[in-house]
């Protein structure tokens, strides 16, 4: 398993520099999305670094996502090509359906609304998927996958798809371990990619009597970090890696980007990153490998912090009424009687 970088909710002007720092630090898996509205900056970073001649396109693993407004089959390819153009690339390595929920395409609006509620389309994500499969047929993208899909939706897609989803990108961290989804994806050969591995510190923690402390400030996480001489962020990344889950933290701070890279001993020349049947191998300088390892007991302790808390809120503007809303488990707040502060 490996480490990627994600560029969500980053201020304009900061993203290009952050991508350049990440590439110099050894990152080769870059997680993008049309919804993030910064693919032009990321493309400028790619163009600069590839132009320097020290980095080759086949050493990169670039991911983008189809936003909900472009689920209609006729909108899939134009949306893909727009991202591809902004990223200054000839192909993508992985293209994900950002969620199973479709919105109507109203002049390309990201969040089309009426009377304070999101407008919903009745496009079936299966039809969207079939249009995405054609992108693979045309050689525009190497693999396709999904994001924010639950087990039932994955099962339905697997029953009808021609090309199996390569990955499912979902929120995962010790407060939201989703063991059933993790095991299901592993059983089907679908790579699970964890977003918000730090519990999204840029967003406020849920409030309430049993609400958890911010994950990076959790005493248990801090204790394990101190034991290994690492930061809490490094421990959380390592937690996912040892569970066999690819991880995509987000930062625009150069020091933190480099710090997180140190978890995996990442190389500046990682070689092939993706091949059929395997996911993002990282090669290391002079035989350098992972420089610390969480014990089985520590992994279990971190898993025990699970309190089914989501930090990325999809239940807004009436989205939870969408017929393809994937989070019917109602896991939006801490379960009664449970606290993740211990």
Residue 119 has what pLDDT? 98
In the residue annotation, 195 being an active-site residue is answered as no
Active-site pick, 5, 34, 36, 175: 36
Write the pLDDT tens digit of every residue in 176-185: 999 999 999 9
What are the angstrom distances between the C-alpha of 280 and each of 28, 86, 98, 230, 241? 9, 24, 20, 24, 12
- What's the pTM? 0.86
Let me know: does 67 contact 132? Beta carbons within 8 Å: no
Residue 166's closest CA among 68, 265, 93?
93
Q: What gap in Å lies between CA 132 and CA 190, rounded to an integer?
A: 17
Q: Is 109 helix (H, G, I), strand (E, B) or coil?
A: coil
State pLDDT tens for residues 160-219: 999 999 999 999 999 999 999 999 999 999 999 999 999 877 666 666 667 789 999 999
Q: What residues form DSSP beta bridges with 96?
A: 65, 145
**What is the Cβ-side half-sphere exposure of residue 103, based on CA atoms within 13 angstroms?**
24
In angstroms, what CA-CA distances link 212 with 37, 227, 302, 313?
31, 22, 13, 16
> In this structure, what token pair is assigned to residue 330?
């109602």
Res. 272 pLDDT band, cuts 50 70 90: very low
């Amino acid at each position: 398993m490996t480490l990627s970088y994600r560029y969500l909710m980053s201020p304009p002007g900061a993203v290009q520099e952050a991508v350049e720092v990440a590439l110099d630090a050894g990152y080769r898996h870059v997680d993008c999305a049309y919804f993030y509205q910064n693919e032009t900056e990321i493309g400028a970073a790619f163009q600069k670094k590839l132009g320097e001649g020290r980095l080759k396109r086949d050493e990169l693993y670039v991911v983008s996502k189809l936003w909900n407004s472009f689920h209609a089959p006729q909108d899939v390819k134009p949306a893909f090509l727009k991202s591809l153009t902004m990223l200054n690339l000839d192909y993508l390595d992985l293209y994900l359906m950002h969620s199973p929920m479709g919105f109507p395409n109203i002049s390309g609006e990201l969040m089309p609304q009426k009377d304070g509620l999101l407008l919903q389309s009745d496009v079936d994500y299966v039809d969207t998927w079939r249009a995405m499969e054609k992108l693979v047929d045309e050689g525009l993208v190497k693999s396709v996958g999904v994001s924010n899909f639950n087990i039932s939706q994955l099962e339905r897609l697997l029953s009808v798809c021609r090309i199996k989803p390569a990955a499912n990108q979902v929120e995962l961290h010790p407060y939201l371990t989703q063991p059933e989804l993790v095991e299901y994806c592993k059983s089907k050969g679908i790579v699970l990619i964890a977003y918000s591995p730090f519990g999204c510190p840029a967003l406020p923690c849920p409030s309430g009597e049993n609400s958890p402390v911010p994950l990076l400030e959790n005493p248990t996480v801090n204790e394990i970090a101190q034991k290994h001489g690492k930061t809490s962020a490094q421990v959380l990344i390592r937690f996912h890696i040892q569970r066999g889950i690819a991880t995509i933290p987000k930062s625009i701070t150069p020091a933190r980007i480099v710090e997180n890279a140190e978890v995996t001993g990442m190389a500046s020349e990682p070689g092939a990153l993706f091949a059929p049947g395997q996911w993002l191998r990282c090669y290391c300088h002079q035989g350098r490998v992972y420089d610390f390892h969480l014990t089985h007991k520590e992994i279990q302790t971190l898993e025990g912090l699970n309190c089914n808390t989501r930090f990325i809120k999809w239940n807004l503007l009436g989205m939870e009424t969408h017929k393809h809303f994937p989070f019917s488990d109602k896991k939006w707040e801490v379960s009664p009687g449970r606290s993740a502060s211990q």
